[in-house]
Amino acid sequence: MRGMYIEKTYGELVTQIEQLKLLLSEAQETIEAIRRGEVDAFIVKNNNVPEVYTLKSSDQTYRIFIEKMTEGAVTISREGIILYCNTSFANMLDLPLTKVLGQSFENFIPDGYKDAVSRLIAIAWAEECKAEIILPGKNKNPIPVLLSLNTMEIAGGLAMSIIITDLSSQKNAQEELKQKNAQLEQAQLITKKMNDELEQTVRERTNELYKSREHFKFLADNIPAIVWTASPDGEMDYFNKRWYDFTGKDYVQVHKEFRLFIHPDETDAYQNLWNKAISTGTPFELVHRLKDGNLEYRWHFSQALPFRNDDNDIVAWFGISTDIDEQKRALEKKDEFISIASHELKTPVTSIKGYVQLLRYNFQQEGNSHAADLLTKADVQINKLTSLIGDLLDVSKIENGQLLYHEEKFDFNELVKEIIEETERVTKHPIKCELAATCTISGDRNKIGQVITNFIDNAGKYSPTGAVINIKTVNRKTSISLYVQDYGLGIPKDQQAKIFERFFRVNSEKENTYAGLGLGLYISAEIIKRHKGSIGVESEQGKGSIFNFELPII
């Protein structure tokens, strides 16, 4: 043989190399074809006899399947040499297939696992087994894997298949799960703590609530008034002990029955005002009588306020009814006294006035002008007294509903001019007047004149001598308004609403220097009210006031 080669020429050798290269590439193609599953069998000459090798151990379907699967698949021989492996396994190791095939499987097992894996393989030749190990993956990043070892028959004997499952994502998921579990536990701990705190707060609040309820109950039961609460729709749902003491009835008999104890004369007013308060959410106020356990009526002043939550919704009504029977009776006595006193005073004062006028006339006739002047001054004072008595009489009559009105039709401007003329004779204030087109009014001419006089008198009384008084009317076709403006003391804002009340006088040192009973505006308001008009004031303290009324035009 050796001699044969030596005898070959260079050219023959080149040709032979070319042929061998061709054969090699054919062989490589065949191997690739087997790998891709394109070849199921091939013919090999054995001792010049052609033999068919079918690829029994890896038929085409399985090979494709194995190539496509994400798990690594390796077949090793008894000696631990890798006979076959799929691309997934090579990828796991980050090596080309060529560097894996034909190598010892152990080469790819990290040192720490080598012994364990060779023991595993030894066992696996006898029985199928599994184990988790770490493989050095891409950039030496360790990959946790599961090895499943199984023996299998291939042409030429027993081989071992090893399926390598990448457990990274599973491990990551497990790790994540562990972390999530830890977070969950933490959250549970926090929740438990919060729950405990909440329970503690609830316990404390319940305790506080109990205490505050007891406080409220104690306060409500011992307050010298009837206290009640009602739901937002106005149904009464609580009464204090005093209610049951007052009515002499028990809970079942008088619960929610407030209305039934109100005097029949005031039941309608109560119902109307209560309904109005409920529908508008505004405070309720009423003076009325309530029937006690002896079936006697006592005057009460009832008030209720809405209690609102943070959203401004009414959640309850709190009411209080104070027994004002004694005050009311004392007031009635006072009114009675005023009525009697003013009546009793009126006649002697009228007589005195008559005598004074007669005396003055006589002195004038005698030429005793000094005595006549003194009697003129006395007459002025008697007029003031008459006016005060007149006011007191009017108030008594208003209270008893006895103030009589003489209705007539009259020219409004004429009345105003008449009063201005009268006033100008006695006042120390210049009066400026600006009257709108006149109109006809229906009502009591004298009493409306009394209101105008009262406005002008007050304007003079509460402003410095010489300060101008402006009088103006505005004709609004269906109504006429009269304004009396002064540049005097003015009225503090918080007292403006009260000046039309009976006996009310602005409380300050300055006002106290002016004589008066605080009745003029009360009477004026009553007169205007009776004429279906309205009365009002605009004022700024220290700058002056504008009083006005408005009356309907017929």
**Stretch touching ligand ADP by CB under 6 A, among 94-102, 173-181, 201-209, 456-464:** 456-464
**Stretch touching ligand ADP by CB under 6 A, among 330-338, 371-379, 440-448, 452-460:** 452-460
Helix 445-461 crosses helix 412-426 at what angle (to 10 degrees)?
A: 40
- For 495-554, strand residue ranges (E) read 534-540, 544-552
525: which DSSP letter? H
d(CA 3, CA 37): 43
Is 414 or 540 the residue whose CB approaches ligand ADP more closely?
540
Cross-strand bridge partners of residue 481: 474, 550
Residue nearest to ligand ADP (CB): 516
Token pair in block for residue 163: 């399926």
Instruction: Give the one residue of 67, 221, 335, 511 binding ligand ADP; rule: CB under 6 A.
Output: 511
Is 441 or 506 the residue whose CB approaches ligand ADP more closely?
506
Nearest to 485 by CA among 411, 430, 413: 430
CB 83 within 8 A of CB 76: yes
Does position 435 interact with ligand ADP (CB under 6 A)? The reply is no
Nearest to 270 by CA among 280, 283, 259, 261: 259
Helix (H, G, I), strand (E, B) or coil at 103: coil
Query: Is the Cα dihedral 254, 258, 263, 265 positive or negative?
Result: negative
Is 86 or 458 the residue whose CB approaches ligand ADP more closely?
458
Is 339 or 545 the residue whose CB approaches ligand ADP more closely?
545
Does position 284 interact with ligand ADP (CB under 6 A)? The reply is no
Nearest to 480 by CA among 525, 528, 523, 527: 528
Is 323 or 526 the residue whose CB approaches ligand ADP more closely?
526
Does position 234 interact with ligand ADP (CB under 6 A)? The reply is no
Is 40 or 511 the residue whose CB approaches ligand ADP more closely?
511
The CB-of-481 to ligand ADP minimum distance in angstroms stands at 17
Is 230 or 491 the residue whose CB approaches ligand ADP more closely?
491
Token pair in block for residue 76: 């090793």
Does position 458 interact with ligand ADP (CB under 6 A)? The reply is yes
The CB-of-525 to ligand ADP minimum distance in angstroms stands at 9
The CB-of-466 to ligand ADP minimum distance in angstroms stands at 16
Token pair in block for residue 394: 């009017």
The CB-of-341 to ligand ADP minimum distance in angstroms stands at 17
Is 306 or 520 the residue whose CB approaches ligand ADP more closely?
520
Please give the distance of CA 112 from its chain centroid, rounded to a whole number. Answer: 68
CB 441 within 8 A of CB 554: yes
- For 444-530, strand residue ranges (E) read 469-475, 479-486
Token pair in block for residue 546: 């504008």
For tokens 């309608």, the residue is: 268
The CB-of-377 to ligand ADP minimum distance in angstroms stands at 21
Cross-strand bridge partners of residue 443: 408
**Stretch touching ligand ADP by CB under 6 A, among 60-68, 132-140, 312-320, 453-461:** 453-461
The CB-of-458 to ligand ADP minimum distance in angstroms stands at 3
Q: In what order do the strands lie in the sheet with 431-434?
A: 431-434, 469-475, 479-486, 544-552, 534-540
Phi-psi region of 208 (alpha: psi -120 to 50; beta: other; left: phi over 0): alpha
The CB-of-446 to ligand ADP minimum distance in angstroms stands at 18
Site residues for ligand ADP, 157-216, by CB under 6 A, read none
Is 390 or 518 the residue whose CB approaches ligand ADP more closely?
518
**Stretch touching ligand ADP by CB under 6 A, among 192-200, 333-341, 408-416, 499-507:** 499-507
**Stretch touching ligand ADP by CB under 6 A, among 113-121, 188-196, 283-291, 515-523:** 515-523
Does position 519 interact with ligand ADP (CB under 6 A)? The reply is yes
Does position 506 interact with ligand ADP (CB under 6 A)? The reply is yes
CB 510 within 8 A of CB 462: no
Report which residue type is found at 199: E
CA angle, 323 then 327 then 331, to 5°: 145
Instruction: Give the one residue of 73, 459, 469, 527 binding ligand ADP; rule: CB under 6 A.
Output: 459
**Stretch touching ligand ADP by CB under 6 A, among 33-41, 179-187, 227-235, 517-525:** 517-525
Site residues for ligand ADP, 465-494, by CB under 6 A, read 486, 488-489, 491
Instruction: Give the one residue of 76, 419, 499, 528 binding ligand ADP; rule: CB under 6 A.
Output: 499
Is 162 or 519 the residue whose CB approaches ligand ADP more closely?
519
Helix 369-400 crosses helix 520-530 at what angle (to 10 degrees)?
A: 50
The CB-of-327 to ligand ADP minimum distance in angstroms stands at 22
In the shown chain, the binding pattern of residues 297 to 336 toward ligand ADP, with x for contact by CB under 6 A and - for none, equals ----------------------------------------
In the shown chain, the binding pattern of residues 534 to 553 toward ligand ADP, with x for contact by CB under 6 A and - for none, equals -----------x--------
d(CA 238, CA 251): 10
CB 465 within 8 A of CB 427: no
The site for ligand ADP (CB under 6 A) is made up of 454, 458-459, 462, 486, 488-489, 491, 499, 504-506, 511, 516-522, 545
